[in-house]
Amino acid sequence: MNERRRLFLKGTLAVGTLSVAAGAGLLSPRAVLAAWPEAAFKGKTVEDALKELLGSAGYETSDAINIKAPDIAENGAVVPVTVSSTLKDVTEIAILSSSNPSPLTSAYELGKGTHPYISTRIKMGKTGDVIAVVKSGGKTFGTKKQVKVTIGGCGG
C-alpha cells in the first residue's frame, strides 16, 4: 500500500531528482516526506477511496462517531461538517461525500494528544451521504449522515 503513496508536487520533477534535491538540502524535509494520498483522492467510489487511504474498503458502523452536518445544506459549496468520536486511540479520520465525483474530501492524521475531532466546510455537488471513517486501534469504524443539496430559487 505504501508504494502507492507517491509524492505529489508540481509533477514535472522525477522522484530521483527530488531525492537528490532533498539530499542537497534544497527542499525542506517536510516537502519531500509529504505523502498526499493521491490514489485515494482519485478514487471514484467511497470504497476505492477508503481502500487506498486506510487499506480497507469497508468499515464497522459505529455510533461512537458523530457527524454534525445540516439535513438540508443551504449551499452545496459550503457545507459545515464536524466529526467527533468517543473511540480511543484514533489515529486517522477521513471525511467523504458519497455523491461527489471524487468522494474523499479530506483525510487527517492525528498527532499525540490530538482529540478525534475535526470541523471543516466541504463541497457537495448534490444530495448524498457525508461519511466519516476513523482508524482506531488499527481498525476502521465509520458512520454516515444524509445531507440534501437543493436547487435554490434565488440563485443569482
* Binding stretches for another protein (CB under 8 A): 8-10, 30-31, 34, 36-37, 41, 70-75, 77-80, 82, 97, 100-102, 104-115, 117-123, 150-156
- Residue 88 or 112 having the CB closest to another protein: 112
Cβ atoms within 10 Å of 94's Cβ, excluding its own? 27
How far apart are CB 23 and another protein at their closest, in Å? 20
Placement of cell 484514533 in the chain = 90
How far apart are CB 145 and another protein at their closest, in Å? 14
- Residue 1 or 31 having the CB closest to another protein: 31
How far apart are CB 118 and another protein at their closest, in Å? 6
Three-class DSSP category at 101: coil
- Residue 15 or 78 having the CB closest to another protein: 78
Do the beta carbons of residue 96 and residue 79 sit within 8 Å? no
- Residue 15 or 31 having the CB closest to another protein: 31
Cβ atoms within 10 Å of 76's Cβ, excluding its own? 22
Do the beta carbons of residue 97 and residue 128 sit within 8 Å? yes
CA distance 29 to 40: 23
How far apart are CB 37 and another protein at their closest, in Å? 6
CA distance 132 to 124: 14
